[in-house]
Amino acid sequence: MRVVECVPNISEGRRPEVYQAIAEAAGNVPGVQVLDVDPGVETNRTVITLVGEPEAVLEGAFQLMRAAVARLDMSTHKGAHPRMGAVDVVPFVPVSGVTMEECADLARRLGDRAGRELGIPIYLYESAASRPERRNLADVRVGEYEALAKKLADPAWKPDYGPAT
């Protein structure tokens, strides 16, 4: 059996009804199991762990992103952890019968779909990075959400997917 883990981090850790609803959006996808929902009040961030077959987890991650974008307002977000948006990171991790390159491809496919359907800028990092200077997540996060508009105006920081607005 092919199994992949996905560990989205969302910019909400103080309102259980919100982060639980976002996690449920992923868990409602057939074949996706939500293993853990780990909120942090200080960081105002929740780490959600999903597992299942790659295509199911890919769909679960997209539904989670859709739910987060619909529920979270970054213009009012405050928290101690660096972040770039309502959904900060969505790493895919090979568990069984899946390679890291396949996980990077899942990240690219998710980024493409989220950019098109949700209309949000997407930056890839680590194994899915589109260029060497974007491999390190800390480099991508420089300036965080508050500096995103400035970053989007810089042609060197054109998103991998989605609008540069």
Separation in Å, CA 4 to CA 93, 95, 124: 6, 5, 18
**How is residue 99 written in tokens?**
């390679």
Torsion sign (Cα): 27, 62, 106, 81: negative
Q: Does residue 7 contact residue 49 with C-beta atoms inside 8 Å? A: yes
Count of other CB atoms within 10 angstroms of residue 8: 24
- Cα 16 to chain centroid distance, Å, stands at 19
Measured between alpha carbons, how far is 141 from 108 in angstroms, rounded to an integer?
A: 18
Instruction: Identify whether 81 is a catalytic site residue.
Output: yes
Categorise residue 92: left if φ over 0, alpha if ψ from -120 to 50, beta otherwise.
Answer: beta
Q: Which of 14, 15, 77, 81 is catalytic?
A: 81
Instruction: Give me the active site residues, please.
Output: 81
